[in-house]
Structure 1
Amino acid sequence: MSSLMAKELDLIEEFRDLSLVCEVTPRSVKLGMLKLINLFLEEIKECQKRDHKLMEKLMPGSEGK
């Protein structure tokens, strides 16, 4: 395998978790957003939604707790 191909594979590996949103027009390609996704952080967010004590603290009217 050539070093250039190895570098390309490394880049593909590094960028596989990127989500690139773009719009293709007849004259151009417009990039709308570059979003980094960390699966660990997504898992934490989902677990926080199921944490009843945390949700109680985040509910309106629970100030001071």
Structure 2
Amino acid sequence: MLRLTNDFLEEVVEKQKTDMRLMKYKTLIEQGKKLDIEIDENEVMRCRGRVCVPD
């Protein structure tokens, strides 16, 4: 699979992994719950297509 890299997005993904609020959403997604938030093929969490940027 082709994977595009972007330093900014890579940094956002790393910070998403430590944001408690986003981790709660990730847990719900992994449990199969339907949310507006999804995780794309590059492991970026997005809400309605927009990147979820942690505080």
TM-score between the two structures when normalised by the length of structure 2: 0.42
Bigger relative CO (Cα 8 Å, ≥ 6 apart): 2
* Structure having the larger proportion of residues in strand: 1
TM-score between the two structures when normalised by the length of structure 1: 0.37
* Structure having the larger proportion of residues in helix: 1
